[in-house]
Amino acid sequence: MTEPRSLFTFEFIGLCMVALLAACNVSVFYYLFNYLQTLGIPGGLCGLVIGTYSITAMALYVVASPFLNVANSPRIILGGMVMIVASGIAYLFVHSFWGLMALRVLNGAGQFCMSGGVMVLFVSVIPPEKSGQAFGLYSVAILVAYAGVPAVMDTLAPFIPTPPDGYAAATVSLLPAAWIIWRIRRKNRDQQEVDVASGHLSSWADIRFNVTQLPVTLLLLLNMSYFANWSSLFFFFKGFAQQQGLTNVGAFFTVQMAIMTLIRLLGGRLFDVVDKVKLTGACFIIIAIGHLALDHLPGTWAVPFVGVLFGLGMGFARRQLHLCTDDNYTCAC
């Protein structure tokens, strides 16, 4: 009988840390919409600049993901870090619409390289029998960034001359991330070559087949709806708060992410016994109530309570969508 593998290895902890630092370099842009308006860019075009980042990353996930493997992922991750650092510093000098569009493409490509490569390595180092616990902790590491960065940036705002200074400064966090990936690459080089020699890439036929399955298509649409709500809240809440005279924006995100983190850590049993479809529907209703509550805030004091609503709705919904996607992807395969 083989002895169970430990989950908490250097590789596991290191990759969770890299995921956290990558998320820090995404969440630092929560004030981007307001900054773009100060440059004189019309509101509609501001949304296009913001969305170009996600469009680039999504396109690369579709086109490039099949070519990621354990052997090439460390190089791709390091290349992604270079792109993120370059784009983060470039915000200091680029202020035109087309220049910012190019930066968002570079930024999105860099984030894909980091996130996609880290996920490939992550799957290769976790024990299969502990995958649920591993992915739960991995997602918590990402949520920590979204919980902490807005609050920290608001606190440091008096000391940061302009938002681009903050974007550039955040890229410093990728230095320890680069060291972690370099260590993992050196430590596991021989094993990675063995894994690649015995593995295979996903075929385009498999990808097309999965996408054409009705349950998978519906789940993709649900995920799109979820992230549309997430993105609109994350990028536009700062401007909304300023219009409403609200000052505790950081507290809103901290409360929301704290609730989502608690759900990931403590809600495992509930996900096993409650009907996934009904719970997912209830989650979207809670998110809708949260949006309505934002339009009728009685005062600044109520902001954290609305954060609780969004934390509950988005926390349970994200977890349920993960579980439903895993179930239907397995069936489609």
**Domain residues of the chain, as ranges?**
8-200, 202-333
pLDDT value of position 203: 58
CA distance 262 to 266: 6
Q: What is the band of 3 on the pLDDT scale with cuts at 50, 70, 90?
A: low
Q: What is the band of 333 on the pLDDT scale with cuts at 50, 70, 90?
A: very low
- Here the tokens at position 163 are 């938002």
pLDDT value of position 187: 75
Q: What is the mean pLDDT of residues 75-79?
A: 94
- The string of pLDDT tens digits covering residues 78-101 is 999 999 999 999 999 999 999 999
Is residue 321 pLDDT above 90, yes or no? Answer: no
Is residue 331 pLDDT above 50, yes or no? Answer: no
Q: What is the DSSP secondary-structure string of 75-135? A: HHHHHHHHHHHHHHHHTTT--SHHHHHHHHHHHHHHHHHHHHHHHHHHHHHS-GGGHHHHH
Lowest mean pLDDT among 286-290, 294-298, 310-314: 294-298
pLDDT value of position 273: 64
pLDDT value of position 148: 82
CA distance 138 to 130: 12
Burial 32-47 (b: 16+ CB within 10 A, else e): bbbbbeeeebeeeebb
pLDDT value of position 39: 92
pTM: 0.77
Class of domain 8-200: mainly alpha
